[in-house]
Amino acid sequence: TQLLEQSPQFLSIQEGENLTVYCNSSSVFSSLQWYRQEPGEGPVLLVTVVTGGEVKKLKRLTFQFGDARKDSSLHITAAQPGDTGLYLCAGARSGNQFYFGTGTSLTVIP
């Protein structure tokens, strides 16, 4: 059973379009991370969100942590081919426990 469900699982869009990826759970997390991963490489940390309702922006990427700290979203504005990759959310709980989401594979077509 996966604690964190991501949607959509696959997404293929044209360059310049906007998109949102969701990361949902029925469990509360003390913090949540978003990573982007390219094939054959390790996940690269994009952001950590900690406070319920928190919004963080990283250039064209906007991350939000749900008020109850059970869910999160990643919004990309004007997607570019360089945004292509596997997006992973991961929730942290006590005792070095991290739970990965099911992953969203994004392809941005030039």
Binding site for another protein (CB under 8 A): 30-31, 33, 35, 39-45, 48, 50, 86, 88, 90, 92, 94-96, 98, 100-103, 105
Cα separation of 23 and 5, whole Å? 6
Nearer to another protein, 34 or 79 (CB): 34
Q: Match 């077509």 to its residue by tokens.
A: 109
Task: List the structure tokens of 50.
Answer: 């900690």
Q: Exposed, middle or buried: residue 32 (CB in 10 Å: 0-12, 13-18, 19+)?
A: buried
In the complex, least distance from residue 9 CB atom to another protein, rounded to whole angstroms: 9
In the complex, least distance from residue 2 CB atom to another protein, rounded to whole angstroms: 8
Cα separation of 71 and 34, whole Å? 12
Nearer to another protein, 50 or 109 (CB): 50
In the complex, least distance from residue 26 CB atom to another protein, rounded to whole angstroms: 18
